[in-house]
């Protein structure tokens, strides 16, 4: 058994995937005591990613393996494919557009080894601007949190200490980003967890093609009684919108945008709808559809 399996799903992000892979290999070389493997799942890329990954496989065949899918099966299913063949005690899900900057895997493994109550953690995920990627520091979405976020009330009041907790719950804006603390969910950009927990949860729910699968997994991990920790001792740069949602109007981008909002509905239907009257659920769906349209 290995200590760590790093899982990366690739889809038409050739140049960025290369940077991500290089950063992982560099970090692993600095922690030689960690027995690790890298598993890359390519979802039928057409940008030359396949040829690039084959070169990595040829050079690092002792610890890199590749799963080539014949079609784009989505983020959740691709990750589950890698989980099935993974040999690590710990699993890191890393986006193909995430570049490790300062990560000591020995430290992360030591932290989890000493804290059995922690089921998953993330580090400080930064955007290229140097600002925090708030998607990596989330509270579990509910109607109020979603309303304050999408109505911009979170943005308006999150800098007011007495109001941040009330209006900034979607991204837990009241918590100190420089301290270790509990959150509800990180993002798939850097999601570090235990293989045994993934076995208990069954991995990602494949009803989420992309987006929402990380929130759903976190929700289920916490239902098992585990904590999820924000651990800002190390950083990763997330080149956001390179492997997912973009602000554009091409057919691919429209489809990606659709996945984003459909994931919101799926999460609500699975975890919140059973606790609300039917008319509330209809209203929630209506608001999500309006948000998607405008």
CATH number (domain holding residue 188): 3.90.550.10
pLDDT at 250: 63
Same domain for 59 and 192?
yes
Among 244, 259, 282, the domain boundary falls at: 244
Q: Is the separation of the CB atoms in 171 and 41 below 8 Å?
A: no
Spatial neighbors of 171 by CB under 8 A, at least 6 apart, are 134, 135, 137, 138, 139, 149, 154, 158
Residue 143 has a CB neighbour count (10 Å cut-off) of 14
Spatial neighbors of 183 by CB under 8 A, at least 6 apart, are 122, 137, 138, 139, 172, 175, 228, 229, 230
pLDDT at 251: 64
> Cα dist. 179→88, 159, 272 in Å?
28, 18, 30
Same domain for 10 and 120?
yes
Number of domains in the chain: 3
Among 205, 223, 244, the domain boundary falls at: 244
Same domain for 50 and 195?
yes
pLDDT at 95: 97
The parent domain of residue 91 ranges over 2-137+176-244
Among 124, 148, 174, the domain boundary falls at: 174
pLDDT at 185: 97
On whether the pTM is more than 0.85, the answer is yes
Determine the 3-state secondary structure of 228 from DSSP: strand
Same domain for 150 and 281?
no
H/E element holding 250? none
Same domain for 41 and 147?
no
Same domain for 81 and 22?
yes
Q: What is the mean pLDDT of each run of 10 residues along the chain (294 residues)?
A: 96 95 96 96 95 95 96 96 98 97 95 97 97 96 92 92 93 96 97 97 94 96 98 95 53 77 85 87 85 78
Same domain for 229 and 269?
no
Same domain for 218 and 90?
yes
pLDDT at 242: 54
H/E element holding 15? helix 14-29
Same domain for 229 and 102?
yes
The residues facing 200 across adjacent strands are none
Same domain for 251 and 218?
no
Same domain for 169 and 74?
no
Same domain for 213 and 250?
no
pLDDT at 252: 65
């Amino acid at each position: 058994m290995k200590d760590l399996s790093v899982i990366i799903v690739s889809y038409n992000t050739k140049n960025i995937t290369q940077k991500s892979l290089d950063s992982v290999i560099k970090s692993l070389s600095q922690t030689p005591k960690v027995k690790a493997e890298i598993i890359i799942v390519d979802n039928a890329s057409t940008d030359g990613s396949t040829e690039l990954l084959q070169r990595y496989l040829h050079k690092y065949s002792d610890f890199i393996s590749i799963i080539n899918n014949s079609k784009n099966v989505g983020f959740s299913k691709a990750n589950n494919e890698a989980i099935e063949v993974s040999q690590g005690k710990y699993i890191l899900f890393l986006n193909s557009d995430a570049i490790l900057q300062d990560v000591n895997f020995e430290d992360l493994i030591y932290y989890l080894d000493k804290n059995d109550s922690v089921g998953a953690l993330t580090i400080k995920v930064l955007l290229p601007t140097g600002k925090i990627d708030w998607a990596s520091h989330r509270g579990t979405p509910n109607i109020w949190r979603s309303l304050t976020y999408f109505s911009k009330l979170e943005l308006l009041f999150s800098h007011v200490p007495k109001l941040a907790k009330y209006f900034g719950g979607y991204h837990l804006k009241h918590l100190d980003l420089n301290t270790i603390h509990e959150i509800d969910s990180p993002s798939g950009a850097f999601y570090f967890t235990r293989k045994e927990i993934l076995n208990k949860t069954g991995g990602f729910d494949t009803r989420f093609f992309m987006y929402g699968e990380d929130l759903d997994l976190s929700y289920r991990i916490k239902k098992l009684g585990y904590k999820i920790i924000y651990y800002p001792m190390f950083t990763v740069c997330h080149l956001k919108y390179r492997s997912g949602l973009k602000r554009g109007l091409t057919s691919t981008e429209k489809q990606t945008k659709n996945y984003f909002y459909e994931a919101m509905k799926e999460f609500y239907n699975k975890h919140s709808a059973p606790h609300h009257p039917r008319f509330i659920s209809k209203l929630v769906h209506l608001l999500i559809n309006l948000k998607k349209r405008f």
